Amino acid sequence: MASFQLRQFHFFKRESLKDLPEAFGQPDLLMASNGGDLIFLADSAGFIHIVNRKLVVRSFMAASDAHGMRITQMLHIHQTRTLLTVEENVSAATSRSAIKLWSVDSLLRHEDTQPVVVKYQQPTSTPYPLTAVAATPSISQIALGFAGGHMVLIRGNILKSKSTKQRTLHVAPEPVTNLHFVTDAAGTRVTLFATTTAQTMVFDTSGSKSEPAVLEERGCGIGCSLMNEEDELIVARDEAIYTYTVDGRGPCFAFDAPKVLLRRFKHYLLLATAAPSSMAPNLANGDDRPPVDATESRVYSYNDPTTFTILDTKNKLVAYTGVVPGGVRGVATEWGSIFVLGGHGTMDFFSEKDLLERLDILYRQNLYPLAVKMAQNGNYDMASVAGIYKRYGDWLYSKDDFDSAMLQYVQTIGVVEPSYIIRKYLDAQRLNNLTSYLQELHTAGMATSDHTTLLLNCYTKLRDEERLNQFIHTQEDYQFDVDTAIHVCRQAGFYEQALYLADKFSKTGMYLKLKIEDQDDIKAALEYMRKLGDTDISAYLAEFGRRCLGSLPSETTELLVDVCLNGMDVRAAAATADEMHDDMSAPYADTTSLLSMRRIQHLFADQPTWLAAFLERIITRRWLPSDSSRELIAEEDSDMKSAWNTLLELYLCSVESPLHELNSSSSPSEKQTPKERALNLLRNPRTNIDWERAYVLCASNGFTEGIAALYEQRGDIAALLDLYIEHDSLPSMRRLLDEHGESQPDLYIKALHYLARNPQLADNEELLADCLSTIEKHNLMSPLRVLQALGDSEQSGVTLGMVRGYIMRQINATSKRIEDNKAAIASYTSEFKVHSEKMDALKNKPIVFQSTKCTSCMAPLDLPSVHFLCKHSYHQRCLGDIGDSCPRCQAENQKLEDQRRAQEISAKQHDAFFNKLHHSDEGFDVIASWFAKSPFAFTKLIDQ
């Protein structure tokens, strides 16, 4: 009894064909087909019946007329549409077989076709039955196998019955059972596989000599071998099915049953096996129960029905098994189906169920691995196969087999939404499974940043640093979101892994955050920043500079100084290059992102001492060297002013720079204070400080010396004197008056008012005398105003003795001026009287001209003559074109006329009059002088 160890299914539908043509009812039918869309039947009477898809039969007599001749073998060669028949006389013990070749197309056209008879010679004097026959697709070679063990090869133009040659390939001690030709793609190499009852051999029939190569010392029965699609020989023996190539035996497929027939359909093997009646149900009677257990006793009888089995060797299963009553006479695989000819003239039709039906059968039995394999072998698309894996995983998950379920879920990556699987394994006890799935998800390149986050969280929660390192260090294409990975590692405290990723992917900002904020390794961070470009280092110093200053102020300050100076060089070079190019839209370099000095200063908000050090270092290296007298661009000029102003403010706030502490070589007693450095800063002619801001800073900090230095720098001596007066600095006042009194005598007026208010000051009398002397010398004030200034204040302590000399000098000078004025008045009165009498005489009295000579030529006058009021007379001819003016008096008259016109013009310059009046200490003198010029003599009255 056959022992079936494989799973058995009904993947084929079986139907018995009804109303068959009469040809199917003939006894001892022989059946053949080979993919030519036709089925051939040969009956015992010598007729061959050709059956097409519609079961229409075309019959013709193929056997000879001799008594007892019948067709014992048929071979359809579909490549050449040729049918090969072997005809034997079954009634004679020794008879010679006849081999004929028929044109199928001619037979179908009902033509009177004569076959090509293949002529050959019996290899022995005693004829043996022909047990096997094979032909190449082109029928250039035909191999014959005899019961006596002889193998004969016929070569040549067999279809034309010309130039054929025959030779014996081999003589075996056993009957030949099967022959199969294999031709390579080029048709140059022809191989012949042969089996006997005791051997399996292979021949190379391409050449003139063909030595057999024994593949195995075991053979098979007639009809129990075939060639598959890979040109491999398949041999069915009772215990198993074996595969052979020209190199030897290949894999085998265990199937224990006595085989009587072997055929092929797609990837299935069709087997007819002898079996007892109790082994399988009689499916012809409608009993579709599965076979009984294979452990029953093996008692075979050749009278039992034949078991027909369809084996799926790829999926290692029995796709169908059932009993054919009366045994299997033949099997044909045409039109996508299987036709089995039974011994009782029945024809069973087997059609394969579609893949969905077959998979559904497997689903019901929870045979998911088999379903997957079948789907893959059936060229199912990836999404459908993944659906099977998902169902398998769900089934295993429901059985609490989480590990096995995850193995199936991994196969669904790329098809099934990852969140479906992830939600199932979020429990803390299943993190290992979830980790495995997420790893595969990343390997497949299907992971998102959320998946990366989850995977790294799994590593960190499991504290699996080894796998975390492996995940990070062994990735080649890094198909995950690096920022997310760094964030997760940082959050979990795996700083080294986060640093590795940040460094590898040039995530400079994150790398510095890890070094500075998490590891507090400021020194390494500063060294890393020094390797960056100008733009990058500027950005990151702006972000992390304050933190670095808090830990390593000296090193950070040095780095900031270098960055700032480099930025200035780049900007200066860019500005120079821009000036050299006509196209101003194409700058030399992008300097907008460089860190300027003003953008750095805020980093020192809580480090004023190091801000002072920073500014001192910038100024020392950039603007104080002897070769720094270059023209600055606008931005650098602004930076320089800002540096000076800020440094001054720091000094005024008593901020001590660490550079002075570290680099000072002087003794503590000689060390400068911040205020002294501020004063030196203000007095330095190379500084560029905003005057107004510096003044406000000095004033708000009460730094008088600084304000004085600012006034001196500006040359505002009057304001400087006011400052000294405000602070009662008499020595400074004296020094200032000595230095600038001659050039600016007005300073003594302010000093006089101050001394008048402060008589208690030392050296007051001496300085007062100097002030009065200078005022008197330059006539800066009238005596009356001087006396008013000295006695105006109630607190004035100026005594008469202090100013007696000045008063006496002023009285004497005034008296002398009065006498001089009186004498001038008398002189002007006398002159006025003389001129008045002359004017009156000219107006009212006749003029007598007594001159007898011409004033011009001194010749006696004669008529016509011209007499002028000035008593000068001229010949008319001597005057010429001079006109009505006396030539002798013309220059004097012109001078008087110019004076008159000047008076007329000045009479209209009212602003000049009021300005002089405003700035004069003697306003009456100005008015009197103005009236002396008769400003109203030229006024014109307008009739309203």
CA–CA distances in Å: residue 877 to residues 610, 862, 869, 885:
101, 11, 19, 15
Confidence of residue 928 (pLDDT cuts 50, 70, 90): confident
Distance CA 535, CA 197 (A): 89
- State mean pLDDT over 243-250: 92
Confidence of residue 177 (pLDDT cuts 50, 70, 90): very high
The owner of tokens 């002396």 is 932
pLDDT of residue 476: 61
Q: Which residues contact 815 (CB under 8 A, 6 or more apart)?
A: none
Distance CA 139, CA 190 (A): 12
Strand partners, 245: 248
Assess contact for 531 and 508: CB atoms under 8 A: no
Distance CA 651, CA 653 (A): 5
Confidence of residue 282 (pLDDT cuts 50, 70, 90): very low
pLDDT of residue 670: 58
Most confident range (mean pLDDT) of 241-255, 547-561, 694-708 is 241-255
pLDDT of residue 795: 57
Distance CA 300, CA 257 (A): 10
Distance CA 123, CA 148 (A): 9
pLDDT of residue 457: 83
pLDDT of residue 630: 55
CA–CA distances in Å: residue 573 to residues 441, 561, 631, 642:
52, 18, 12, 21
Given its phi and psi angles, is residue 630 left (phi above 0), alpha (psi -120 to 50 degrees) or beta?
A: beta
- CB atoms near residue 123 (< 10 Å): 20
- State mean pLDDT over 571-598: 54
Q: Which residues contact 157 (CB under 8 A, 6 or more apart)?
A: 140, 163, 164
- Could you read off the pLDDT of 902-927 as tens digits, one per residue? 777 777 777 777 877 777 766 777 77
- CB atoms near residue 814 (< 10 Å): 12
- State mean pLDDT over 373-385: 84
The owner of tokens 């070769």 is 627
- State mean pLDDT over 94-107: 81
Q: Is it the case that residue 44 has pLDDT exceeding 90?
A: no
Half-sphere exposure of 113 (CA within 13 A, CB side): 21
Confidence of residue 237 (pLDDT cuts 50, 70, 90): very high
Confidence of residue 179 (pLDDT cuts 50, 70, 90): very high
Distance CA 521, CA 503 (A): 15
Q: What is the mean pLDDT of the chain?
A: 78
Distance CA 205, CA 211 (A): 9
pLDDT of residue 660: 60
Q: Is it the case that residue 217 has pLDDT exceeding 90?
A: yes
The owner of tokens 């002089």 is 916
Instruction: Give the three-state DSSP class for 498.
Output: helix
Q: Please report which helix (H) or strand (E) contains residue 386, including its range.
A: helix 382-398
Distance CA 35, CA 78 (A): 7
Confidence of residue 663 (pLDDT cuts 50, 70, 90): very low
- Could you read off the pLDDT of 3-42 as tens digits, one per residue? 446 888 899 999 888 877 777 777 677 888 777 788 888 8
Distance of alpha carbon 580 from its chain centroid, rounded?
35
Write the single-letter amino acid at 495: Y
> Which tokens belong to 80?
């050449």
Handedness of CA 323, 325, 329, 331 (dihedral sign): negative
Considering only residues 44 and 585, tell me which one the structure prediction assigns the higher pLDDT. 44
- Could you read off the pLDDT of 410-461 as tens digits, one per residue? 999 988 899 898 898 888 788 888 888 888 888 888 888 788 788 888 888 8
Assess contact for 617 and 659: CB atoms under 8 A: yes
- CB atoms near residue 391 (< 10 Å): 18
pLDDT of residue 143: 93
Assess contact for 532 and 595: CB atoms under 8 A: no
Q: Is it the case that residue 224 has pLDDT exceeding 80?
A: yes
Instruction: Give the three-state DSSP class for 86.
Output: strand
Omega within 30 of 0 (cis) for the link into 305: no
Largest CA distance in the chain: 206
Strand partners, 201: 194, 214
Pairing of strands 259-265, 268-274: antiparallel
- Could you read off the pLDDT of 498-547 as tens digits, one per residue? 888 888 887 888 888 888 888 888 888 888 888 877 666 777 777 788 88
Q: Is it the case that residue 303 has pLDDT exceeding 70?
A: no
The DSSP 8-state label assigned to residue 805 in this structure reads: H
Assess contact for 791 and 754: CB atoms under 8 A: no
Q: Is it the case that residue 196 has pLDDT exceeding 90?
A: yes
- State mean pLDDT over 856-874: 83
For 581-591, letters b (16+ CB in 10 Å) and e give: eeeeeeebeeb
Burial class (CB in 10 A: 0-12, 13-18, 19+), 649: buried
Q: If you compute the radius of gyration of the chain from its CA atoms, what whole number of angstroms results?
A: 67
For 407-443, letters b (16+ CB in 10 Å) and e give: bbbbbbbebbebeebbebbeeeebbebbbbbbbbbbe
Sheet holding 268-274, edge to edge: 259-265, 268-274, 306-312, 317-324
pLDDT of residue 779: 66
Q: Is it the case that residue 310 has pLDDT exceeding 90?
A: yes
SS3 sequence of 334-370: ECCEEEEEECCCCEEEEEECCHHHHHHHHHHCCCHHH
Distance of alpha carbon 663 from its chain centroid, rounded?
48
Write the single-letter amino acid at 280: A
pLDDT of residue 300: 40
- Could you read off the pLDDT of 326-360 as tens digits, one per residue? 788 889 888 889 988 887 778 888 999 988 898 89
pLDDT of residue 864: 84
Q: Nearest to residue 323, comparing CAs of 280, 288, 276, 269?
A: 280
Considering only residues 940 and 654, tell me which one the structure prediction assigns the higher pLDDT. 654
pLDDT of residue 289: 39
- State mean pLDDT over 467-490: 75
- Could you read off the pLDDT of 45-57 as tens digits, one per residue? 888 888 888 888 8
Q: Which residues contact 776 (CB under 8 A, 6 or more apart)?
A: 806, 809, 810
The DSSP-derived string for 738-782 is HHHTTT-TTHHHHHHHHHHH-TTSTTHHHHHHHHHHHHHHHT-S-
- State mean pLDDT over 147-163: 85
Strand partners, 152: 144, 168
Distance CA 943, CA 189 (A): 146
Confidence of residue 1 (pLDDT cuts 50, 70, 90): very low
- Could you read off the pLDDT of 823-858 as tens digits, one per residue? 988 998 998 898 888 888 878 888 777 788 888 888
Pairing of strands 47-51, 39-42: antiparallel
Sheet holding 69-77, edge to edge: 69-77, 82-89, 98-103, 116-118
Considering only residues 679 and 2, tell me which one the structure prediction assigns the higher pLDDT. 679
- The percent of residues in the chain predicted with pLDDT above 90, rounded, is 13
pLDDT of residue 633: 60
pLDDT of residue 279: 41
Size of the chain in residues: 944
pLDDT of residue 475: 64
pLDDT of residue 13: 92
Confidence of residue 192 (pLDDT cuts 50, 70, 90): very high
Considering only residues 789 and 640, tell me which one the structure prediction assigns the higher pLDDT. 640
Distance CA 119, CA 291 (A): 49
